[in-house]
Amino acid sequence: MLKIKTRKIERIKMVIQRLEICIGMVKLAFEFVAVFVKAVGSVISAEEEERNYVAQTPYIGLLP
């Protein structure tokens, strides 16, 4: 009887350990997605800034 309870307890511990590992992996995946989205956003905003620059026109009348 004691061996059966011990086996059940060990199985429960294994299930809890697997759940903890799964939760850790999900957290890691969310962090990765957050960093990826932030990086993509910064690249897009950098591209928009490059497109919206104002180039000064040269004064053609002052050229030699």
Q: Is 29 a member of any domain? A: yes
Q: Is the pLDDT of residue 18 over 70?
A: yes
Q: What is the mean pLDDT of the chain?
A: 83
> How far is Cα 16 from Cα 20, in angstroms, rounded to an integer?
6
Expressed as residue numbers, the domain containing 25 is: 1-41
Classify residue 62: in a domain, yes or no. Answer: no
53 inside domain: no
Residue 15 falls inside a structural domain? yes
SS3 for 18-63 is: HHHHHHHHHHHHHHHHHHHHHHHHHHHHHHHHHHCCCCCCCCHHHC
pLDDT band at 46 (very low <50, low <70, confident <90, very high): confident
The verdict on pTM exceeding 0.75 is no
The answer to whether residue 55 sits within a structural domain is: no
- Domains held by the chain: number: 1
Cα distances from 4 to residues 1, 27, 29, 61, in angstroms, run: 5, 35, 37, 98
Residue 52 has pLDDT above 60, yes or no: no
Position 50 confidence tier, pLDDT thresholds 50, 70, 90: low
